[in-house]
């Protein structure tokens, strides 16, 4: 019987679904299989020959590298949870295993790491834990679950919708979700902030005008009702409309027609109106500031959004969402928040709600270059350290000043110990030395590790 022909190791590595890469003793990648390309989003040509920390953007690379631990101890690591940030800025959950790499004589020549994409497992875990999503709306709180349960039915109807909630709770996101899941999804979604225009401008903004209607009207211009034809019109801050505009809007909702400025010919509307307000319209009716008949016209279906302080379990979920988005926009590899930073966010009262949280993460991205977001990166109102902008500095100059101050402070806190300072800053030692050189920082000749 003819023995089977042995299958080359390279063929086996190319056929498995786990990512595999190897490094030499200088930490340069020597091999990178097909699955590693698919999971990381990097090609083999981009990976081989580079240091693994430059290729494998994982949260474990900053001081907790499992492959480094294996090469030091000689012991393998099995299925350690982690995540990487791919070139698109998305966080990919993985499990990591490591082993020593030996030549034919048993001499250690490097290390091998295998990793498995756990995205599907993570998605199933979120479903089990009760994470709900519709469009850009994301939540795991019961109060939002009640809204998610009714949104499909609301979307499928053509009824006028009123969304009430504090500033920054995501009223426009709800409006977009309603539109995107409605029979009008192929039509335009047009938004207008009713509080942003004085009465005369808001009238022309909503209903348009005809040529010659006023000085400067040199041609016909459609209003938002016209632009939104076949789709949805989102009227934000509808409670800020003047009484005269409320009358005009009421007439449009009742008769499904409107007249552009300078025209006596009615135009038929073909839009679904979604209104939103951060005011208590019932109280405004009592005060005589809002028409009761208009309220009943727009309050056919109502959605009340809870403030973020009443659904703080959503904060970690929203933070991950914003971190992924800003990684893509700014082409960074920020992993997320340190435990101390998350504690500060969970303790805050969030008067600005989800918008304030998003702004806080964007602020942190200005100061955090890589690794985890630490408390010092957060806005001062959340416990972060304020930074001063002197004169007319550019953003780049401000970031350099902030980086220099952070590095000098970290070195001082750690007695000039470079390794400890790097860990304190959440960056790799090599990154610290690169920044020190770029910023012209003069380090003491003696490293703090040698001090007694």
pLDDT in tens, 434-451: 888 777 777 766 665 544
Between 179 and 218, residue with greater pLDDT: 179
Report the pLDDT averaged over residues 9-17. 72
Q: How does the average pLDDT of the chain come out, rounded?
A: 83
Nearest to 114 by CA among 41, 49, 31: 31
**Cβ–Cβ < 8 Å for 400, 389:** no
Topology annotation, domain 311-450? Helicase, Ruva Protein; domain 3 (1.10.8)
Strand order, beta sheet including 19-24: 29-32, 19-24, 108-117, 91-102, 77-85
Q: What is the predicted pLDDT for the residue at 254?
A: 93
Q: Is the pLDDT of residue 386 over 60?
A: no
Judge: domain 130-306, CATH 3.40.50.2300: no
Q: What is the predicted pLDDT for the residue at 452?
A: 38
Output the six-digit token pair for 432: 């610290």
- CA distance linking residue 215 with residue 223, whole number of Å: 17
- CA distance linking residue 123 with residue 244, whole number of Å: 50
Q: Indicate the domain borders of the chain.
A: 16-119, 130-306, 311-450
Q: What is the predicted pLDDT for the residue at 285?
A: 95
CATH superfamily of 16-119: PAS domain (3.30.450.20)
First CA to last CA distance, the chain: 71
Between 58 and 122, residue with greater pLDDT: 58
**Residue 31: strand pairing partners:** 22
Report the pLDDT averaged over residues 96-113. 89
What pLDDT, in 10s, does the model give residues 395-413?
566 667 677 777 877 777 7
- CA distance linking residue 290 with residue 241, whole number of Å: 8
Q: What is the predicted pLDDT for the residue at 54?
A: 79
Report the pLDDT averaged over residues 191-202. 89
**Cβ–Cβ < 8 Å for 338, 392:** no
Output the six-digit token pair for 200: 């005369």
- CA distance linking residue 259 with residue 10, whole number of Å: 73
Report the pLDDT averaged over residues 354-373. 90
What pLDDT, in 10s, does the model give residues 275-325?
999 999 999 999 999 999 999 999 999 999 999 999 998 998 899 889 988
Buried b / exposed e over 217-233, threshold 16 CB at 10 Å, is eeeebebbbbebbebbb
Nearest to 369 by CA among 337, 403, 338: 403
**Residue 258: strand pairing partners:** 267
- CA distance linking residue 75 with residue 98, whole number of Å: 9
Q: Residue 288 gets which letter from DSSP?
A: T
Output the six-digit token pair for 245: 């505009």
Q: What is the predicted pLDDT for the residue at 81?
A: 79
Q: What is the predicted pLDDT for the residue at 450?
A: 45
Report the pLDDT averaged over residues 158-170. 94
- CA distance linking residue 164 with residue 303, whole number of Å: 6
Identical topology for domains 16-119 and 130-306:
no
Report the pLDDT averaged over residues 57-73. 76
């Amino acid at each position: 019987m003819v023995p089977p022909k042995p299958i080359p190791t390279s063929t086996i590595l190319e056929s498995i679904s786990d990512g595999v890469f190897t490094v030499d003793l200088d930490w340069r990648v020597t091999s990178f299989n097909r699955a590693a390309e698919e999971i990381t989003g990097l090609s083999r040509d981009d990976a081989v020959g580079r240091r693994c920390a430059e290729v494998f953007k994982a949260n474990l690379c900053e001081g907790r590298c499992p492959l480094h631990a294996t090469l030091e101890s000689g012991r393998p690591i099995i299925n350690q949870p982690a995540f990487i940030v791919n070139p698109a800025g998305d966080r990919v959950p993985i499990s990591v295993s490591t082993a020593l790499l030996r030549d034919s004589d048993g001499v250690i020549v490097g290390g091998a790491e295998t990793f498995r994409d756990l995205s599907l497992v993570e998605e199933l875990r979120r479903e089990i834990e009760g994470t709900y999503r519709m469009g850009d709306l994301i939540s795991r709180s019961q109060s939002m679950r009640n809204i998610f349960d009714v949104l499909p039915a609301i979307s499928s109807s053509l009824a006028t919708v009123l969304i009430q909630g504090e500033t920054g709770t995501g009223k426009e996101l709800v409006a977009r979700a309603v539109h995107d899941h409605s029979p009008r999804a192929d039509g335009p979604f047009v938004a207008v902030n009713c509080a942003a225009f004085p009465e005369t401008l808001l009238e022309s903004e909503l209903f348009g005008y005809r040529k010659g209607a006023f000085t400067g009207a040199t041609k016909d211009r459609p209003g938002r009702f016209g632009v939104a034809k076949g789709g949805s019109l989102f009227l934000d801050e509808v409670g800020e409309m003047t009484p005269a505009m409320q009358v005009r809007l009421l007439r449009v909702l009742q008769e499904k027609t409107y007249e552009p400025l300078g025209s006596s010919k009615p135009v038929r509307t073909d839009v679904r109106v979604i209104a939103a307000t951060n005011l208590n319209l019932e109280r405004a009716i009592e005060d005589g500031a809002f028409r009761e008949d208009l309220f009943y016209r727009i309050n056919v279906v109502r959605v009340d959004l809870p403030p973020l302080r009443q659904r703080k379990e959503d904060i970690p979920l929203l933070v991950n969402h914003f971190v992924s988005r800003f990684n893509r926009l700014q082409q960074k590899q920020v992993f997320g928040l340190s435990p101390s930073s998350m504690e500060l966010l969970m303790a805050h009262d969030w008067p600005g709600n989800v918008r304030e949280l998003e702004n806080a993460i964007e602020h942190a991205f200005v100061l955090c270059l890589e690794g985890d977001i630490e408390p010092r990166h957060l806005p001062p109102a959340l416990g972060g350290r304020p930074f001063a902008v002197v004169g007319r500095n550019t953003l780049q100059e401000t970031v350099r000043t902030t980086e220099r101050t952070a590095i000098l402070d970290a070195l001082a806190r750690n007695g000039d110990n470079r390794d400890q300072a790097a860990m304190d800053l959440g960056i790799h030692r090599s990154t610290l030395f690169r920044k020190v050189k770029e910023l012209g920082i003069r380090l003491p000749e003696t490293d703090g590790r040698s001090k007694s």
